[in-house]
Amino acid sequence: QVQLVESGGGLVQAGGSLRLSCAASGRTFSTYAMGWFRQAPGKEREFVAAVSQNGFLIYYGDSVKGRFSISRDGGKNTVYLQMNSLKPEDTAVYYCAAGAMHTGYRNADAYAYWGQGTQVTVSS
């Protein structure tokens, strides 16, 4: 069992940066792959970024490549999403997720545990 709590969202102007954090509690944090997804009202949940359980594999959604970066700190049981050059179309609720899989990192259905989400709003 894993509990995930996101933080760091807020209102930022286009071109600005935010750093989201996801704090995990429970056993064996290092066992899980970690991902970030986002969802805007009326839209499908979109894959943003993921890191494998051993940190060797990293994936990004096409819309955020070159702007966002994911990292994990096992000692702090935390995964981060650094978001730079933010655009209004990045506005969404951002969720972190954990799963005990080794493939399918871009698929939301592969993740067993989800945080409550944190709102990111980018103004133009």
pLDDT digits (tens, 9 = 90+) for 43-96: 999 999 999 988 889 999 999 999 999 998 877 788 999 999 999 999 999 999
pLDDT at 53: 86
Joined tokens for residue 102: 């080794």
CA distance 99 to 88: 29
pLDDT at 28 over 70: no
pLDDT at 11: 98
Asked if 66 and 86 touch (Cβ cutoff 8 Å), the reply is no
| Spacing of C-alpha 67 from chain mean position | 13
pLDDT at 120 over 90: yes
Instruction: Single out the residue of 45, 58, 50, 31 nearest to residue 106, CA to CA.
Output: 50
Residue 4 CB-half CA count within 13 A: 27
The Cα-based distances of 30 to 27, 63, 78 in angstroms read 9, 28, 10
